[in-house]
């Protein structure tokens, strides 16, 4: 039986892969759910450059809030369509326009909880999805500009070793590939190895603002226990 002590807010049978920071875990009152979807094709990863609103100027996967009455799986499909099509008008009404946006066989690949200080009283829980193919036409919208980046999926062990060696320095993100970590959310590089190596993961990051910039204060990421016969 695993004896790992999980950070508050995380659940499941998980084995720690990477952790760091020494502050107490931050308190929060409730959780708000979001989705983020990543499309791979051959050796490329599709990211979106956020042109306005929350996260403007950053590259990210395609996603948004989970609406009331919606499952994260449903929200992930809706947000993926809406993010890359100007013709997908009824985002909030969830009325699917078959010809618009892109469809992908999204697979849930991880859960990432984060808390900000100073920040809202809630924790953000992002359900992460990936797909190795898609159908439809990519379009730049007034919110997102889709862009492909080359990736060379590492083995989980080599990727995590690289991240672990860099993370303690709390400075530059490691050069896992041509992924533009410097223009992404602080901390994405901690869990990207799991995404790239298609390893289901669960993790938490606490951020504390320094000079107006969110900095990693404490983090923990784990994976389901490996089968000893694998
Ligand atoms: C550390 O912070 C974050 N990291 C990462 N990787 N992703 C984040 C972070 N904070 C927010 N996000 C993601 C979560 C969502 O995918 C989007 C934000 O979605 P948004 O608030 O724009 O949600 P929508 O439903 O699209 O909102 P509106 O319809 O109101 O524009 O960023």
Give nearest CA residue, ligand 1 atom 8. 185
Could you tell me which residue, 86 or 59, shows the higher pLDDT?
A: 59
| Residues 23, 206: Cα–Cα separation, whole Å | 9
Average pLDDT over residues 31-58: 93
Q: Which residue has the tokens 């900000």?
A: 116
- Largest Cα span, the chain: 51
Residue 120: the pLDDT is 95
Q: Which one, of 148, 48, 143, lies nearest residue 91 by Cα?
A: 143
Homologous superfamily in CATH for domain 15-217: Nucleoside Triphosphate Pyrophosphohydrolase (3.90.79.10)
Alpha-carbon distance of 82 to 106, in angstroms, equals: 15
First to last CA, the chain: 18
- pLDDT at position 136 is 87
Q: Residue 68 burial by CB count (10 A; 0-12/13-18/19+): exposed, middle or buried?
A: exposed
Residue nearest to atom 24 of ligand 1 (CA): 64
The arithmetic mean of pLDDT across residues 214-218, rounded, is: 93
| Whether pLDDT at 100 is above 50 | no
Write the pLDDT tens digit of every residue in 104-142. 999 999 999 999 999 999 999 999 999 999 998 888 888
For the whole model, what pTM was predicted? 0.89
Instruction: Identify each DSSP E strand in the chain by its residue range.
Output: 15-21, 30-41, 44-50, 59-60, 102-103, 107-117, 122-131, 135-136, 144-150, 201-210, 213-223
What are the extents of the domains in the chain?
Answer: 15-217
Statement: residue 1 has pLDDT above 50: no
pLDDT of amino acid 170 = 43
- Determine whether the shortest distance from the Cβ of 63 to ligand 1 is under 6 A: yes
Minimum CA distance residue for ligand 1 atom 29: 64
The rounded Å distance from CA 65 to ligand 1 centre is 7
Q: Decide: 167 and 161 in contact? Cβ < 8 Å.
A: no
> What is the rounded average pLDDT of the residues 80-84?
80
pLDDT band at residue 144 using 50, 70 and 90 as cut-offs: confident
| Residue from 81, 3, 76 nearest 33 by CA | 76
Which residues pair with residue 62 across a beta bridge? 37
What ipTM was assigned to the predicted interfaces of this complex? 0.95
Say how far apart CA 163 and CA 159 lie, in whole Å: 6
**Could you tell me how many helices (H) and strands (E) the chain has, helices first?**
3, 11
pLDDT tens digits for range 166-212 = 655 544 555 556 889 889 998 899 999 999 989 999 999 999 998 98
């Amino acid at each position: 039986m695993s004896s790992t002590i999980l950070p508050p807010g995380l659940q499941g049978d998980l084995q720690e892969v990477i952790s760091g920071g020494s502050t107490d875990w931050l308190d929060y009152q409730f959780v708000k759910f979001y989705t983020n979807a990543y499309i791979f094709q051959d050796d490329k990863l599709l990211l979106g450059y956020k042109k306005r609103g929350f996260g403007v100027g950053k590259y990210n996967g395609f996603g948004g809030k989970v609406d009331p009455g919606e499952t994260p799986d449903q929200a992930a499909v809706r947000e993926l369509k809406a993010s890359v099509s100007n013709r997908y008008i009824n985002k909030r009404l969830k009325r699917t326009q078959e010809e618009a946006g892109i469809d992908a066989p999204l697979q849930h690949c991880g859960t990432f909880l984060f808390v900000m200080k100073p920040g809202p009283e809630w924790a953000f829980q992002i359900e992460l999805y990936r797909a190795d193919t898609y159908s439809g036409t990519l379009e730049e919208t007034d919110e997102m500009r889709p862009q492909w980046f080359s990736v060379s999926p590492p083995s989980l062990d080599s990727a995590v070793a690289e991240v672990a060696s860099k993370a303690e320095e709390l400075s530059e993100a490691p050069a896992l590939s041509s992924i533009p970590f410097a223009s992404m959310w602080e901390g994405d590089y901690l869990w990207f190895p799991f995404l790239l190596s298609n390893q289901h993961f669960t993790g938490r990051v606490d951020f504390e603002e320094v000079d107006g910039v969110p900095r990693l204060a404490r983090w923990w990421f784990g994976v389901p226990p490996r089968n000893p016969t694998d």
